A and B are shown apart, each in its own frame.
Chain A
Amino acid sequence: MNKKPKLLLVLDILSLVLLAVATYLSLSFAPMEVTMGNVQKVFYFHVANAWVGMLGFIAAGVAGIAYLSSGKSKWDIIEVAAVEISLVFFLIAIMLGSIWARPAWNTWWTWEPRLTTAAITEMIYLAYFMLRNGIEDPNRRARFSAVYTLIGSVSVPITFMAIRLFRTIHPVVIGSESAQAQGGFNMSPDMKVTFFFALFTFTIIFIDIFWHRIRLGVLQNKIEELKLKVME
């Protein structure tokens, strides 16, 4: 396995610094929202995690298409990496949303359109790993997974649009929201700075972890090939 590229090391350091700054901005720089109190500060990380989660699921769908059209195993590695990372980020987004919902909606969870579609998306991609574990042949596994991510990626725009298309209590911060929405707020300029900085930070973190996870996948493949060679 090649040594860690310098650019990756730079990305590691940049990610840590950006995360520290984003945390500072969220906790200290952004003003407290009057109607919700301090819990609103969770919003910056909640949206940023959901954003990279969805980004990864879409990336996995694109990698799926690339695998089906080229048959190259590198696309399968990229696809698995994207799904795994996005599952983690999306899970964090759901957990943070639930923590925010408790004081805002007086409940940890409610089956309204956004939360329901988000939970379904998370479960679709959890099942992706069950599917992979159930198939022995690597080519067949990669082909089935590619088709699955392609179909699964349909859930991403549905989740994104759920709060814009259906009557829901989930607020829409950018764009117009449903009349039933509870917990919405107008962002002040300082809040907007924090919000967009968090989005940028998590995009960089996503790229960094994605690269690491792809390297891990490449190493896994190399070991599998070596195992077969040694066993021959």
Chain B
Amino acid sequence: MSISPETTNYMIAGFVTFFLVFTVYITSMFVRWSNLKRDLLTLEELEKDKNA
């Protein structure tokens, strides 16, 4: 009968790494999106003021 090596810690490290990097990237997209939306609103107001 063969005994499997105890590598559970590496498995946990793998999944934690994946979810961490993935979450950071998704969050960065959210942050960039909301910043761009804010910039867009500001620029639209500036354009309105310019045309007024």
Interface residues of A (CB under 8 A from B): 1, 23, 26-27, 32-42, 45-46, 49, 88, 91-92, 95-96, 99-100, 102-103, 209, 212-213, 216, 219-220, 222-223, 226-227, 229-230
* A-contact bits for B28-47, CB 8 A (1 contact / 0 none): 01001100110110011011
Q: Give the secondary structure class of A's interface.
A: helix
Closest 9 CB pairs of A and B: A42-B14, A39-B7, A37-B7, A39-B10, A38-B11, A37-B4, A226-B43, A38-B8, A37-B5
Q: Could you tell me the distance in whole angstroms from the C-beta of B33 to the nearest C-beta in chain A? A: 6
Residues of B within 8 A of A40 (CB): 7, 11
Beta-carbon contact of A216 and B32 below 8 Å: yes
Question: Is B13 at the interface (CB under 8 A from chain A)?
Answer: yes
Alpha-carbon distance between A103 and B14 when the two chains are bound, in angstroms:
12
Residues of B within 8 A of A38 (CB): 4, 7-8, 10-11
Q: Give the secondary structure class of B's interface.
A: helix
Residues of A within 8 A of B50 (CB): 230
Beta-carbon contact of B5 and A36 below 8 Å: yes
Alpha-carbon distance between A26 and B18 when the two chains are bound, in angstroms:
13
Q: Could you tell me the distance in whole angstroms from the C-beta of A97 to the nearest C-beta in chain B? A: 9
Beta-carbon contact of A223 and B43 below 8 Å: yes
